Amino acid sequence: MDMTFQPLLKEKPANKPLIIAGPCSAETEEQVLNTARALSNKGVDLFRSGIWKPRTRPGAFEGVGTEGLGWLRRVKQETGMKVTTEVANTQHVFEALKHQIDVLWLGARTTVNPFSVQEVADALKGVDIPVLIKNPINPDFKLWVGAIERIYKAGITRIGVIHRGFSYHGDTKYRNVPRWQIAIDLKREFPDLPIICDNSHICGRRDILQSVAQKALDLNFDGYMTEVHPDPDNAWSDAAQQITPSQFLEIKERLIFRQLTTDNMEFLENLEHLRHEIDELDEEMLNLLSNRMKLAERIGEYKQRNNIAILQTSRWNEILERAINKGRLKGLSEEFTTVYLKAVHQESINHQEKVMNQAKTEA
């Protein structure tokens, strides 16, 4: 599906990051306005606050509801900042539009359900308003693209996406692992689609907010979205990942927004030379991998003749452990080495399986 996207905010310069900030949840009118006043005239493009909060378990704070939309309208009147909030159904859309909310966003729990996305899309037909779409909870690329397509088919062309990380079972320093490659793949498929990094939901903690936002900017993301609260420790939702306005402004001042390219010929020539070296190494690695698979096929032949199972767990554990240790000494992270070796191992299994099945068919 061919899609042409318009700028999210018409008055926003393309060479500046889009900055979204505000509390996770609107708790009281005073809390919302105090946060907005502290961020006013500080380069924030959109003031965010959750009005309806879909929570994982019942009993948690699920938002103040429609009453909070009036508080956001007051933010607009007092500070001049544009405001944004999350919507998940038809009624949310109608109420937000009635209260003149400037930008809507679909949360991860909405994006994961095509029925919910379509309901929001149907409610937006005939409306010209920017819509941001968070990635689904699980790393499902097609589901994310499908949500974009549904909103676009409703006539919305000012669309952006929010990369908020993905659920992960296991030990990780993140609340939601970034899986940056998924966002990069989305940018590759839709070069004009703005991508915003929700560093708060990726991190789930305060101490790595800056590093995650900087990585996003280094990857040519179009901006970032951070949760800001006047008293984070006592926030009614997601307290551990929120920061004070002063902490947010300190991070904002330290972040570096990279340019996409330059006309410096010396830089371009050096870059081209280094890229050529990378291309040669990539070709060499592909040749080595091809040779590795040929060896795997020979192993498959021996296993087939001797009726031996393809997967040898002890051998696989030995390979993985040795590779992680060697990779660490060579400056490669355990995460990268593990993902790389698992992909190579799966391809080896596929080659062995093909050889063994072919031998069985011929027999």
Angle 168-169-171 from CA coordinates, rounded to 5°: 95
pLDDT at residue 58, as a whole number: 77
Q: Which domain holds residue 164?
A: 18-254
pLDDT at residue 359, as a whole number: 62
pTM: 0.83
pLDDT at residue 361, as a whole number: 66
Residue 124 and residue 156 in one domain: yes
pLDDT at residue 151, as a whole number: 98
pLDDT at residue 279, as a whole number: 95
3-state secondary structure the chain: CCCCCCCCCCCCCCCCCEEEEECCECCCHHHHHHHHHHHCCCCCCEEECECCCCCCCCCCCCCCCCHHHHHHHHHHHHHCCEEEEECCCHHHHHHHHHCCCCEEEECHHHHCCHHHHHHHHHHHCCCCCCEEEECCCCCCHHHHHHHHHHHHHCCCCCEEEEECCECCCCCCCCCCECCHHHHHHHHHHCCCCCEEEEHHHHHCCCCCHHHHHHHHHHCCCCEEEEEECCCHHHCCCCHHHCECHHHHHHHHHHCCCCCCCCCCHHHHHHHHHHHHHHHHHHHHHHHHHHHHHHHHHHHHHHHHHCCCCCCCHHHHHHHHHHHHHHHHHCCCCHHHHHHHHHHHHHHHHHHHHHHHHHHHHHC
Residue 244 counted as domain residue? yes
Residue 234 and residue 306 in one domain: no
Tens digit of each residue's pLDDT, the chain (363 residues): 789 999 999 887 777 899 999 999 999 999 999 999 999 999 999 999 999 987 667 777 888 999 999 999 999 999 999 999 999 999 999 999 999 999 999 999 999 999 999 999 999 999 999 999 999 999 999 999 999 999 999 999 999 999 999 998 888 999 999 999 999 999 999 999 999 999 999 999 999 999 999 999 999 999 999 999 999 999 999 999 999 999 999 999 999 988 877 888 898 899 899 999 999 999 999 999 999 999 999 999 989 889 988 888 999 999 999 999 999 999 999 989 999 999 999 999 999 999 888 866 665
Residue 94 and residue 193 in one domain: yes
Domain boundary among 206, 225, 254: 254
* CATH code: domain of residue 174: 3.20.20.70
How many domains does one find in the chain? Answer: 2
pLDDT at residue 171, as a whole number: 85
Residue 118 and residue 47 in one domain: yes
Residue 112 and residue 248 in one domain: yes
pLDDT at residue 15, as a whole number: 79
